[in-house]
Amino acid sequence: MSSTVLQVVADSFKDANIDQPLTSFSMEEWPYCAALNIVNSAIADLNRLGSYSFAETELLLPYSIGVNSYNLNTVGPYIIEPRRIMRLRRELSGQAGELTETNYRDFQKRYRNGATMTQKPIAWAKFGGNLHLNSIPDQDYQLTLYYYQQIQPIVVGVNDNQPTIIPEYHIDVLRDMTKAYLLKEMQRPDFTNQYTLAKGKADKLLARSNEDVGLPAQLPRAF
């Protein structure tokens, strides 16, 4: 059975030799009252490091007539961070194929100089938290977005008693990072060593560092 976030945080408190067990995020005594901020700071730090292989997922974009752009903040169950998008693909039988991601400035030059055509989309770009298709789809091509999820922050009563997307065999990464932020909260001198340990473990799990995983990192060499 996968550990819940509350269990992971409770283990980090136990590892730090805190007097009594953490039993909920509603405890009022310090440092228990800081537990929610501590674990969410740890999660934010892990997300900033980059994308993790265990966070791979996909999303079927909803089809609507006349629609060729999507708000990445609302199209999925959680906000999709644009730099974590790997690819966009048509999955409709007989029309399957990957769309080409284009830098938004080049995308505008090529596809936004006149009326937008209604046809099979072949390219896409992202800008301002939105995903744009080069054309208006003339049918449902079952456009599927492949991307890395972020580890979601904890909201008490919503997901504090649910497992995270981190698999059980890697959950020690979250526990160790949470312990580091707990030691920081308590101004203990062993914070630095604990943080170095936690970050080292997280670095080994990164699928990609904190960069755009869709567009190439550099332009091809000119010949």
The verdict on 180 and 158 lying in the same domain is: yes
For residue 210, what pLDDT is reported?
66
Residue 1: band (very low, low, confident or very high) from pLDDT cuts 50, 70, 90: low
Peptide bond into 31 cis (omega under 30): yes
Q: Under DSSP, is residue 12 helix (H, G, I), strand (E, B) or coil?
A: helix
Task: Evaluate whether 127 touches 69 at the Cβ level (below 8 Å).
Answer: no
173 in any annotated domain: yes
From 110, 133, 148, give the residue that closes a domain. 148
14 in any annotated domain: yes
The amino acid present at 160, given as its one-letter code, is D
Question: What's the gap between Cα 83 and its chain centre?
Answer: 9
The verdict on 48 and 68 lying in the same domain is: no
Q: List, for residues 81-117, the tens digit of each pLDDT value.
A: 999 999 999 999 999 999 999 999 999 999 999 999 9
The verdict on 66 and 132 lying in the same domain is: yes
For residue 188, what pLDDT is reported?
94
Q: List, for residues 38-49, the tens digit of each pLDDT value.
A: 999 999 999 999
CA distance 177 to 143: 37
Angle between helices 171-185 and 5-15 (to 10 degrees): 50
For residue 157, what pLDDT is reported?
77
The verdict on 16 and 59 lying in the same domain is: no
Number of folded domains in the chain? 2
Residue 8: band (very low, low, confident or very high) from pLDDT cuts 50, 70, 90: very high
Kindly state the helix (H) or strand (E) to which residue 133 belongs, with its residue range: strand 130-133
What percentage of the chain has pLDDT greater than the value 90? 82
pTM: 0.86
The verdict on 60 and 137 lying in the same domain is: yes
For residue 218, what pLDDT is reported?
42
Q: List, for residues 147-182, the tens digit of each pLDDT value.
A: 999 999 988 877 778 888 999 999 999 999 999 999
Which are the contacts of 26, defined by CB distance < 8 A and separation ≥ 6? 156
**Structural domain for 86, as ranges:** 55-148
Assign 3-class secondary structure to 201-222: HHHHHEEEECCCCCCCCCCCCC
Q: Is the pLDDT of residue 202 over 80?
A: yes
